[in-house]
Amino acid sequence: MSFAHAVVWLDHSEAHVLHFNDSAAESEKVRAHSLHQHRHHRAGSVGSGHAAEDEAYYHAVASAVADAQEILIVGPAGAKTVLMKHMQRHDPKIAQCVVGIETVDHPSDGQLLAYARHYFVKADRMRGDPVPRHA
């Protein structure tokens, strides 16, 4: 089944991707290949103290939403902006489909789907698109 909308909730270790329309949804999880680790450096040591981002993880997330016409990216921290920057650099056609980036804590997939449907109804109204009618 083909879906026009996708929402991805992610942090640095896992992404929940939902493709959906008014009446149906499909979900998948994408896990980081290496766990995101915090490093602590002593004063005067070389390096920023941050682990490098898992490029393969962000590419896998981008690939998971590649067929969506409109994408909403949500999450609790900075991974959502890292994903957007990754897509702008490596997958600009996918990045153009992103309609919003929002801070959202840790919802269940059902809560995430409800949030995304509500978000897209509001976004469609702002663009002047007709609001779908539910039977």
Assigned domain for 43 exists: no
pLDDT, one tens digit per residue, over 1-40 is: 679 999 999 999 999 999 998 889 999 999 997 654 444 4
Q: What is the CATH number of the domain that holds 80?
A: 3.30.420.60
- CA dihedral (2, 133, 96, 11) positive or negative: negative
Range of the domain at 24: 5-33+49-127
Mean model confidence pLDDT for the chain: 84
User: Under a CB-based contact definition with an 8 Å cutoff, are residues 5 and 19 in contact?
Assistant: yes
In this prediction the pTM is 0.80
Q: What is the mean pLDDT of residues 117-134?
A: 70
pLDDT, one tens digit per residue, over 49-101 is: 455 568 999 999 999 999 999 999 999 989 999 999 999 999 999 999 999 99
The residue written with tokens 């390096």 in the block is: 47
Assigned domain for 39 exists: no
Gap between the Cα atoms of 50 and 6, Å rounded: 30
